[in-house]
Amino acid sequence: MARVAAIDCGTNSIRLLVADVTTSDGGERSLRDVHREMRVVRLGQGVDATGELHPDAIARTRAALLDYTTVLRRKGTEWVRMVATSATRDAANKDAFFDMARTVLGVDAEVITGDEEARLSFTGAVSDLDGDEGPFLVADIGGGSTELVLGTWDGVRGDVEAARSVDIGCVRLTERCLRSDPPTEAEVEDAVRVTRDVLAEAFAAVPTGRATTWIGVAGTVTTLVALARDMPRYDPQEIHLARLTTDQIRETTAKLLTMSHDERAALGPMHPGRVDVICGGALIVRTLAEHLESQGITELVASEHDILDGIAFSLA
C-alpha cells in the first residue's frame, strides 16, 4: 500500500486527493480516499484574451497550494504528483507559475498534453464501472478544454482506443461568448456555434459511434446532476454514477440560461466559483448530448472519479 497525493490544477479549479493505493498480487489496484478537496482559483482568468496568467490568479493558486502542503504533511503522504492542464499550456508566462509551484510544493508541476489528460481522466472515470457496459466514451469538461476519450475497461486497466483534447471549456466559452446576465439569445446561439465548431475536431478524431456508455466527469457535469435532481445541497455520494437523460440535460440547461447570476447562486448545490460559468459548461454538455443522441446514446453517467483518481493510480 502507498499513500499518494494527486493535485490537478485546471483552468477553473485546483483539486487535491490524498489516497491509499493498494495493489494485489494479481495486479488489481484499489483506491481508498483519505482526503479530497477543491478550490476555485480561476487560474485561466483572461488567458484566452491576453495569452498570459493573471498575477491575481497565480496568487490565488499559491494560497491554495500552501494549504495543500499542510494537508500533505499532516496525512503523511509518500508520493506527490501535480499536473497542470489547459490554462498553463496556453500561457506565455507559465514559467512564473511553475517556479511558484516548485517553491511551495517542493516538486515540479507537470504540463501534461491533452491526450495524457484524457488518458488519466479515463482511468479515473471508469474505475467503478462494469467493463461489460463498454466501450466507454469519457467526456471531461474543464474550464479551458474538453477531452473525449474512447476505450474499454477490464476491471484492472483501461485500453484507450482514441482521445482528443479541444480548446473549449466552461470558462473559455463564457469569456468568449456569454457576456450578459442572463445570456441573450444571440449570445447563446453564438456559444452553440463555437462549441459545435470546436467539438467537430474531437468528433472527427474519436469514433463516438462505437461507444455504448457515455460518462461525464468534472464539476459542470456533477453540478448539472445535482440541479436536475433538485438536490438541496451537493452530495457526491448521490451524484456518483447517477444518470441523466438527454431531455433532462436540455431542461436543466434551458432553466440555467434564463436565470440571473443571483438566481443561480441561490441554488443549493451550486458552488460559488461555478455560478458565472455554469451556463457555458451546460451548453457544452448539451451539445455533446445531442451529438450522441443521434448515435443512439440517450443518457449520461456522471462520475465523481476523474483525472485526480487517474493521477493517484499512476503513482502506485
Question: Are 139 and 307 within 8 A, CB to CB?
Answer: no
CATH superfamily label, 2-114 = ATPase, nucleotide binding domain (3.30.420.40)
What Rg, from alpha-carbon coordinates, does the chain have? 18
Name the helix (H) or strand (E) containing 121: helix 114-126
d(CA 160, CA 138): 10
Nearest of 280, 295, 312, 263 to residue 124 by alpha carbon: 312
Coil, helix or strand at residue 98: helix
Name the helix (H) or strand (E) containing 286: helix 278-293
| Residue 156 scores a pLDDT above 70 | no
Q: What is the pLDDT of residue 25?
A: 65
Q: What is the pLDDT of residue 123?
A: 84
Q: Taking residues 227-256, what's their average pLDDT?
A: 95
Question: Are 48 and 57 within 8 A, CB to CB?
Answer: no
Coil, helix or strand at residue 151: strand
Q: What is the pLDDT of residue 107?
A: 92
Amino acid identity of 309?
D
| pLDDT greater at residue 102 or residue 44 | 102
Most confidently modeled of 53-57, 142-146, 281-285? Answer: 281-285
Amino acid identity of 42?
R
| Residue 143 scores a pLDDT above 90 | no
Whole-prediction pTM? 0.79
Does 2-114 match 130-307 in CATH topology?
A: yes
d(CA 196, CA 215): 19
Q: Taking residues 191-204, what's their average pLDDT?
A: 96
Q: What is the pLDDT of residue 23?
A: 72
Q: Taking residues 231-239, what's their average pLDDT?
A: 93
| Residue 276 scores a pLDDT above 90 | yes
| Residue 198 scores a pLDDT above 80 | yes
Could you tell me if residue 110 is left (phi over 0), alpha (psi between -120 and 50 degrees) or otherwise beta? Answer: beta
What CATH architecture applies to the domain 130-307? Answer: 2-Layer Sandwich (3.30)
Q: Taking residues 48-54, what's their average pLDDT?
A: 86
**Share above pLDDT 90 across residues of the chain, in percent, rounded to a whole number:** 68
Which grid cell is 5? 497525493
Long-range CB contacts (within 8 A, 24+) of 187-192: 188/257, 188/283, 191/280, 191/283, 192/283, 192/287
Angle between helices 219-228 and 278-293 (to 10 degrees): 80
Question: Are 222 and 302 within 8 A, CB to CB?
Answer: yes
**Which CA distances in Å does 183 have to 44, 161, 198, 286?**
21, 38, 20, 16
- Of 50-64, 73-87, 187-201, give the lowest mean pLDDT range: 73-87
Question: Are 122 and 213 within 8 A, CB to CB?
Answer: no
Q: Taking residues 6-22, what's their average pLDDT?
A: 90
| Residue 201 scores a pLDDT above 90 | yes
Nearest of 198, 211, 158, 165 to residue 280 by alpha carbon: 198
- What are the structural domain ranges in the chain? 2-114, 130-307
| 213-217 vs 299-303, strand pairing mode | parallel
| pLDDT greater at residue 117 or residue 4 | 4
> What is the average pLDDT score of the chain?
91
Confidence grade of residue 26 (pLDDT, cut at 50, 70, 90):
low
